Amino acid sequence: MAIQMLNKIDESITNLIKHTERKCRKLKSGMVPFTPQINEAGKEINVWNNVIRKKKGCNISSTYIKQIVKKSGINMPMKLTVEDFIKERQLATKKYKRLKRNAKQSRIQFIQELAIQQVARGNKTASNAILRINRNEELRELYKRIKSVTKPFYGATEKVLISITNSSDEERITTEIIEIEQALCIQNKEKFTSVYSSLFLQKPLLEQNGQTATTIQTQKNLQSTFKAPKNIDNTTKFFIQQFKNPENISVQVTNNSLCSIETATSYWRKKRERTNSSMTQRHIGTYRALKYDNLLVLKMINNISNYAFNIGTPLNRQTKDLDVSLLKKPNKIRPSELRTIGKIV
């Protein structure tokens, strides 16, 4: 009953995070080189977008509208009709796309003109600094082109090499999604179940140590007081004897199995934002934001995970897994030659 309630709360938090993320701005900066002309065209599009939303009844601040209108230099935009707004936005978008096509050349010209202006003012130091910016941008573009040539693959599995029949040594390349998934499933099952033949996953050691090795018998292994069953071979007995904790670890205080809010905050602060935390599509950027503005929600998320850990039952979202198979080397496309990453929570 407790785990069902925890799952309901956890699902509510997931829906809250996904709803919040949809409300966030999606910034797409850095894709187009900056020039004053492109910047002005972008401001015009921003004005018309917000004015149209305001006319349609969206919650847009009038003060914000005045600010962006003043920056763009557009006169009296609110007096037009919605149809006129849409036409003006289309014209501004066409202008932006036209400027975008020549953005790289315009950027170089803009930088050079800035340097010439600084030289005319007698400020050679600033002129040299501006020219270095231009040089660094050229080098960055050059490195990108070199990388695209020297690394023609990006890790995505678009094709695999599979056997024509189960008993044949002949192979063929397939790009069919169903065949790729079937081949990868067979390979991953073989890879991830190879450990099942271990004696620790067979009777009697499985019953004594458990699936997670958290039983009293496991503690005896660490203390070297465990008496192995008679039907265990000598190699396994010797292996169990090596479990004994070193003296310096035995005298240390036992680690706290629970994750404190300080530990969670420190953990999320170091994570990269452009990744999802799980198949539930919880975005890590949301966790990073929570540590600044809403520690209460982060504490709730943390406490739910701790409670589920204490009762020994995972949350529903922690039982879902997605295996992603990526290329390790170009042209190595057999399922056994791919690198598999498990994406859980």
Percent of the chain residues topping a pLDDT of 90? 6
User: pLDDT tens digits, residue range 185-231?
Assistant: 888 888 888 877 777 787 877 887 777 777 787 777 777 777 777 77
- What is the percent of the chain where pLDDT is above 70? 85
pLDDT of residue 255: 63
Among 87-101, 149-163, 193-207, 229-243, which is the least confidently predicted range? 149-163
Q: Which has more confidence, 243 or 8?
A: 8
Question: What mean pLDDT, rounded, does the chain reach?
Answer: 80
Question: What CA–CA distances, in Å, run from 27 to 32, 93, 215, 312, 328?
Answer: 13, 17, 50, 41, 32
User: Is the dihedral angle over the CA atoms 185, 186, 191, 197 positive or is it negative?
Assistant: positive
In the structure, what pLDDT confidence band is assigned to residue 345 with cuts at 50, 70 and 90?
Answer: very low
Q: How many other C-beta atoms lie within 10 A of the C-beta of residue 283?
A: 19
pLDDT recorded at residue 265:
78
Q: What is the average pLDDT across 305-311?
A: 81
Per-residue confidence (pLDDT) for residue 153, from 0 to 100: 57
Which residues share a beta bridge with 324?
Answer: 341
Measured between its terminal Cα atoms, the distance across the chain in Å is 23
pLDDT-derived band of residue 98, with 50, 70 and 90 as boundaries?
very high
